[in-house]
Structure 1
Amino acid sequence: MVVTPIKNTTSTDYSLEDWLQSPSEGKEWVNGELLEKEVTLKHSRIQAKVATYWRNYKDASGQGGEVYTEAPCLTNKQGRRPDVAYLTPELMQQFGEPAVLPQSFPLIAEIISPTDLAEDMIAKSQEYLQSGSEEVWLVFPENSWIIVITKNQRLVFIAGEIVRTQSVLPGFNIAVNELLG
């Protein structure tokens, strides 16, 4: 996913509080700027597949919770919209469905576009983990890699392998080729 500035705004022009009250569709609030997420067809297809597989698994396994796409959440620093996110039944009970989740989702997937910088996406995954997320998937469609990051480990799954959740949605697994194909 490519994130580009909409305009050169500062936090005084459009504050995080403004974004929290009315999180604009397809936009994140990052470092005082309102940024628009650009999505390609491949990105959108893989995003839909991840959401569908996670949703089907949580339903079939009886784990409950909910799967979202582009749902707004607040990290310790920014207003974000993860590509795919899973909210546990416990957090659904605690928070209900506010306009913006006041923390990161427990399980997040970010679909990486060719123009995304790896360092930026790794920093974003750390931001999520420091704000309540337990597991972040960085999905690299062009290389057929999925990096699964938790607070204690970083695992790389490649074409021909089976990617597995590590701490959220226990038991979920899928072939990398199936997810990215």
Structure 2
Amino acid sequence: MPALKTRTRPKRKRRWTEADLLRLPDDGRKYELVNGRLVEVPTGGRHGRIAAGMVGRFYALHPPGASLFDSSTGFRMAQGNIRSPDVSVMRTERLPEGKAPVGFVDGAPDLAIEVVSPDERMSDLLTKMAEYFESGAQEVWLLFPERKQAHRYRADLSVEVLHENDILHGAPLVPDFAVRVGDLFEE
């Protein structure tokens, strides 16, 4: 008599939670929680230098009525995903009691800035931007080091593509911010 074949069920992938994300060790990697999956976000030396430069430029202005966050800050999107833009600016009035919470921030920042790595897919970036806008963002800036470009997306679905010699302005969110796009990428 032939042996009976047993059916095996495919293993279900583990659904990660916000608590799991908070318990991850600080291993130098950047993660986001997307649809119950832990997603490593590409970073590197150049990426970090550009993001740190942006933080420094905003910090020097100390925009009144706004809070500045780096890439270690998680924002809880309307759909429940946790996203961590490379640089974020949020109106202080949107924070509980005007202060940053100990845990994740509810909603998207008013301005989310992403430094785009060469291996990131545009479809993933568009999905992320849609989540930011659905969750309260007013603007999303994508910085493309390879092209020396900045793409400025607004909640009204307009986009402005800025090249190396163009000036990126922060108004209306950060009125005093202005920088030549090429300066963002200089070594």
Q: TM-score, normalization: structure 2?
A: 0.81
Structure 2 distance, partners of 1:18, 1:144, is 38
Q: In the comparison of the two structures, how many residue pairs are matched?
A: 167
Q: Which residue of 1 aligns with 2:77?
A: 75
Match of 1:172 among 145, 160, 177: 177
Question: Distance in 2 between the 1:123 and 1:28 partners?
Answer: 13
Map of 1:131 onto structure 2: 135
Q: Deviations over 1:3-27 (max 9, x none)?
A: xxxxx9432xx23x4357x264522
Within 5 Å, give how 1:129-168 maps onto structure 2. 129-152=133-156, 153-168=158-173
Alpha-carbon offset, residue 32 of structure 1: 1.4
Percent identity between the aligned chains?
25
Find the aligned partners of 1:94 and 1:54 in 2 and give their Cα distance.
22
**Unmatched tracts of structure 1, length 5 or more:** 1-7
Q: Which residue of 2 aligns with 1:5?
A: none
Structure 1 distance, partners of 2:98, 2:67, is 13
Give the corresponding residue for 1:3.
none
Q: Which residue of 2 aligns with 1:91?
A: 94
Deviation at 1:141, TM superposition (A): 0.6
Going from structure 1 to structure 2, the CA distance change for 1:23 and 1:63 (only over 3 Å counts) comes to farther
Post-superposition offset of 1:110: 0.4
Q: What secondary structure does 1:169 align onto?
A: coil
Q: Which has the larger radius of gyration?
A: 2
> Within 1, Cα distance between the matches of 2:126 and 2:23?
24
Aligned to 1:28: 32
Unpaired runs of 5+ residues, structure 2, are 1-11
Distance 1:104-1:23 versus aligned 2 partners, 3 A rule: farther
